[in-house]
C-alpha cells in the first residue's frame, strides 16, 4: 500500500504538530506517530516554556543564559534568533487557545528555573506540556488536509541513494523520497511517499535504565536518520534531570525544576543542604551541575537518594502551584507540603542529534528536523531549562518556509517513485523467542546507566563500546531471521542510539557540560570547543544492511 503526501511528519509533539499545522497551508500532510496522537514527551513537560515576557527581561539576557548553560558549544546566531522570535511563537500559541497561568487574571505568572537570571517561564500549573499539546491537537484536527496515522512506526527512510546507485547516502545529491512504516495494529508495512519529510520524533531516554521520558522515547529518529546517512552530532551530551521521584512504582516520575524555583531545597538524609558547595546559585544551578552533585553525594554517603524539601514554604504553594506533582507524590505516600520527598537523577533530554541549520534542514534535501531529535546549536553542551518547548515551536515555524520552497523542486519523487521497491520480508518468520528482545533491551539500558551515565571514565566507556558492538551483531541476526515488530524496531534503534552516545563520549577527551569524564576532568577549549560529528562508523555499516526489500 502506498500513501502519497506533500509533507510527512514523524512525531506528534510540539515540534511535529506546529510544523504540520502551519505547512498544511501549502499542501497535504500526513502525521505518523507510533502511539496515539496525544502520546509524546511534550505531553509530560511540567515546568513550562521559556520566553521573554516581562519588562525587566530581555532577549539578550535569555540568549546569555542559554549560552552560559551550553558551555561554549551553542551556535550564537541560532540562540539569538530563537530567543528573539520566542515571544511571537508563544503569542501564536495563546492565540490558538493555550491558557497559561496569570496573576489575578492579568499579567502572566512567570517562574524561574536553574540557569535563568530572570523569571521567564510561562506555565499552566505543572501541566504546561499537556496544555500546549491539547491546543495544537485541537487546531490540527480542524485542518481537512491533515491525515493522522496513529500506531505507525517508521522503519527506515527512503532516499534517492536507495534507488539510484550513482548517489552516495548523505551526499549533496541525496534527497528524501519518503519512508517505510509498520502499522502496529495490522502488522502490515506501508510505503509513504512525500516531497518533504519532517523528523520530529523526540528523544531517547529509554536508552537508559532510569528516565523521566515516556515509553515512546527510544531514539527512533536519530537511528533512522543515521542509517540514511544524515549527520549526527554531540550525542555524548545527554541531560540527566536531577530530581525524579525515587519510588519503585513511580517510573522515575519527574519533579519539575520549578519546585526548586519556588524555593525547594535539596538535602541529604540527615537534613543537611549541599548545593551551596557546588555552585553560587545553589539549588538553581544548571542541571548538569545539580545532577553531578546529587550523584556525588549519593556515592559518598552510600544513600539511595537525596531529598527535595518544600516543608518550609506555605502548604498551599505546594498544592496549588503543583497540583499534579502534589497528587502523584501523595499517591505514592509522600505529602510534599509536610515532608521532604526522595529524589534521584534520571535520563531526561538528548542535547545532540540530527544536525540541522536554523531552518531545520539536514544534509539530505527534503529531510528536515526539529525538537529533541535535532542538534540545532541552541543547547550546546547542556540545555537551559524550559528551552526545549521553545526550540520546537521556533525551529518548526522556520522550517515551514523552507519546506514550502521544496515543493517546487525538480521532481526526483516523480522520477524515482516507480523504482521504489515494495517492502518484502523475504524468508523471515514469526519469532517465538521474544525473550531475546527483552533481554537485549534490558542489557543495553543497564550498561548505559552503569557505564555512560552522569559520570564516566575511559575504562567504563571502553567496556560499553565492546558490549554494544556484540549486541548490535546479535540484533542484526535477529532482525534478518524474524518478521519485524514494534519491539524489534525499537530494540535496534536504542542499540544504535546507545552506540552513538558511547562513540561521542569516547571521542571527547575533556569534561564539558553534560559530559563528565573522570580521566579528563577539565574543559579543553583548544581541542574540543567544537561539535562531535559522528559519520561512517561501524554502526552505520552494520545497519545500512538491515533492510528487507527486493533490492537486497
- Quick check: is 287 catalytic? yes
Q: Is the dihedral of CA 69, 71, 73, 78 positive or negative?
A: positive
Same domain for 161 and 34, yes or no, is yes
In whole angstroms, give the CA distance from residue 292 to residue 239.
Answer: 11
Q: Is residue 537, in this structure, part of any structural domain at all?
A: no
In whole angstroms, give the CA distance from residue 391 to residue 375.
Answer: 10
Same domain for 357 and 319, yes or no, is no
Same domain for 317 and 365, yes or no, is no
Same domain for 136 and 6, yes or no, is yes
Residues 367-390 have pLDDT tens digits of: 999 999 999 999 999 999 899 999
Same domain for 315 and 343, yes or no, is yes
Q: Say if residues 163 and 221 touch (Cβ distance below 8 Å).
A: no
Same domain for 160 and 24, yes or no, is yes
Strands 152-159 and 146-150: unpaired
- Predicted local distance difference test score (pLDDT) of residue 433: 64
Q: What predicted TM-score, i.e. pTM, was given to this entire model?
A: 0.91
Same domain for 189 and 47, yes or no, is yes
Same domain for 406 and 331, yes or no, is no
DSSP state of 42: G
**Backbone φ/ψ region at 5: left (φ over 0), alpha (ψ -120 to 50), beta:** beta
Same domain for 186 and 63, yes or no, is yes
| Structural domain for 321, as ranges | 243-348
- Predicted local distance difference test score (pLDDT) of residue 107: 87
In whole angstroms, give the CA distance from residue 417 to residue 424.
Answer: 17
- Predicted local distance difference test score (pLDDT) of residue 126: 80
Domain count of the fold of the chain:
2
Q: Is residue 513, in this structure, part of any structural domain at all?
A: no
Q: Is residue 255, in this structure, part of any structural domain at all?
A: yes
- Predicted local distance difference test score (pLDDT) of residue 540: 45
In whole angstroms, give the CA distance from residue 3 to residue 30.
Answer: 9
* CATH number of the domain where residue 286 is located: 3.90.700.10
In whole angstroms, give the CA distance from residue 502 to residue 36.
Answer: 31
pLDDT < 70 positions in the chain: 1, 315-316, 409-411, 426-429, 431-433, 535-552
Q: Phi and psi at residue 342, in whole multiples of 5°? A: -75, 135
Q: Is residue 218, in this structure, part of any structural domain at all?
A: no
* CATH number of the domain where residue 73 is located: 3.50.50.60
Same domain for 149 and 252, yes or no, is no
Q: Is residue 431, in this structure, part of any structural domain at all?
A: no
- Predicted local distance difference test score (pLDDT) of residue 424: 75
Same domain for 302 and 410, yes or no, is no
Q: Is residue 544, in this structure, part of any structural domain at all?
A: no
Cα–Cα distances (Å) from 254 to 84, 197, 215, 321, 343, in that order, read 29, 32, 14, 15, 9
Same domain for 395 and 410, yes or no, is yes
Domain termination site, one of 348, 363, 392: 348
Residues 452-490 have pLDDT tens digits of: 999 999 999 999 999 999 999 988 887 777 788 899 999
Which of 112, 287, 365, 383 is the catalytic position?
287
Q: Is the dihedral of CA 10, 417, 226, 154 positive or negative?
A: positive
- Predicted local distance difference test score (pLDDT) of residue 418: 80
- Enumerate helices (H) and strands (E) in the chain, giving the number of each: 16, 17
Q: Is residue 316, in this structure, part of any structural domain at all?
A: yes
- Predicted local distance difference test score (pLDDT) of residue 542: 38
Q: Is residue 506, in this structure, part of any structural domain at all?
A: no
State percent of the chain over pLDDT 90: 71
- Predicted local distance difference test score (pLDDT) of residue 411: 61
For cell 506528534, the residue is 12
Amino acid at each position: 500500500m502506498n500513501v502519497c503526501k506533500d509533507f510527512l511528519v514523524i512525531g506528534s509533539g510540539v515540534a511535529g504538530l506546529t510544523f504540520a499545522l502551519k505547512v498544511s497551508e501549502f499542501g497535504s500532510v500526513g502525521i505518523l506517530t507510533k502511539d496515539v496522537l496525544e502520546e509524546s514527551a511534550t505531553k509530560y513537560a511540567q515546568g513550562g516554556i521559556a520566553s521573554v515576557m516581562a519588562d525587566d527581561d530581555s532577549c539578550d539576557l535569555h540568549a546569555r543564559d542559554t549560552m552560559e548553560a551550553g558551555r561554549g558549544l551553542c551556535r550564537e546566531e541560532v540562540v539569538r534568533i530563537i530567543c528573539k522570535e520566542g515571544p511571537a511563537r508563544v503569542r501564536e500559541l495563546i492565540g490558538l487557545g493555550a491558557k497559561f497561568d496569570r496573576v489575578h487574571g492579568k499579567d502572566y505568572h512567570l517562574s524561574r528555573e536553574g540557569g535563568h537570571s530572570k523569571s521567564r517561564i510561562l506555565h499552566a500549573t505543572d501541566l504546561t506540556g499537556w496544555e500546549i499539546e491539547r491546543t495544537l491537537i485541537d487546531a490540527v484536527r480542524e485542518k481537512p488536509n491533515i491525515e493522522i496515522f496513529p500506531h505507525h512506526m517508521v522503519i527506515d527512510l527512503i532516499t534517492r541513494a536507495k534507488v539510484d546507485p550513482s548517489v552516495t547516502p548523505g551526499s549533496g545529491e541525496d534527497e528524501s523520497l519518503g519512508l517505510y512504516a509498520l502499522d502496529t495494529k495490522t502488522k502490515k508495512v506501508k510505503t509513504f511517499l512525500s516531497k518533504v519529510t519532517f523528523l520530529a520524533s523526540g528523544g531517547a531516554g529509554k536508552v537508559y535504565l532510569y528516565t523521566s521520558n515516556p515509553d515512546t522515547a527510544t531514539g527512533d529518529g536519530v537511528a533512522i536518520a543515521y542509517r540514511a546517512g544524515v549527520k549526527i552530532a554531540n550525542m555524548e551530551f545527554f541531560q540527566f534531570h536531577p530530581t525524579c521521584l525515587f519510588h519503585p512504582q513511580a517510573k522515575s516520575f519527574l519533579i519539575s525544576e520549578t519546585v526548586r524555583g519556588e524555593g525547594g531545597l535539596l538535602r541529604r538524609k540527615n537534613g543537611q543542604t549541599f548545593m551551596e558547595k557546588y555552585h553560587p546559585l545553589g539549588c538553581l544551578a544548571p542541571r548538569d551541575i545539580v545532577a553531578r552533585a546529587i550523584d556525588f553525594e549519593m556515592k559518598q554517603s552510600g544513600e539511595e537518594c537525596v531529598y527535595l524539601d518544600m516543608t518550609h514554604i506555605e502548604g498551599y504553594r505546594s498544592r496549588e502551584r503543583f497540583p499534579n506533582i502534589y497528587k502523584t507524590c501523595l499517591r505514592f505516600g509522600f505529602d510534599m507540603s509536610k515532608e521532604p520527598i526522595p529524589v534521584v537523577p534520571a535520563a531526561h533530554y538528548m542535547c545532540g542529534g540530527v544536525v540541522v541549520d536554523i531552518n531545520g534542514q539536514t544534509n539530505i534535501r527534503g529531510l528536515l528536523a526539529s525538537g529533541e531529535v535535532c542538534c540545532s546549536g541552541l543547547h550546546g553542551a547542556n540545555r537551559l531549562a524550559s528551552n526545549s518547548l521553545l526550540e520546537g515551536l521556533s525551529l518548526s515555524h522556520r522550517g515551514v518556509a523552507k519546506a514550502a520552497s521544496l515543493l517546487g523542486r525538480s521532481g526526483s519523487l516523480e522520477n524515482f517513485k516507480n523504482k521504489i521497491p515494495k517492502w518484502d520480508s523475504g524468508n523471515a518468520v514469526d519469532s517465538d523467542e521474544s525473550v531475546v528482545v527483552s533481554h537485549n533491551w534490558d542489557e543495553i539500558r543497564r550498561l548505559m546507566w552503569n557505564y555512560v551515565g552522569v559520570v564516566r571514565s575511559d575504562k567504563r566507556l571502553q567496556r560499553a563500546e565492546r558490549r554494544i558492538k556484540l549486541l548490535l551483531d546479535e540484533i542484526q541476526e535477529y532482525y534478518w531471521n524474524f518478521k519485524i515488530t514494534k519491539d524489534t524496531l525499537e530494540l535496534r534503534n536504542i542499540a544504535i542510539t546507545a552506540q552513538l552516545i558511547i562513540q561521542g563520549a569516547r571521542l571527547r577527551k575533556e569534561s564539558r557540560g553534560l559530559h563528565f569524564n573522570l580521566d579528563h576532568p577539565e574543559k579543553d577549549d583548544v581541542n574540543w570547543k567544537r561539535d562531535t560529528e559522528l559519520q561512517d562508523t561501524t554502526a552505520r555499516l552494520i545497519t545500512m544492511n538491515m533492510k528487507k526489500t527486493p533490492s537486497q
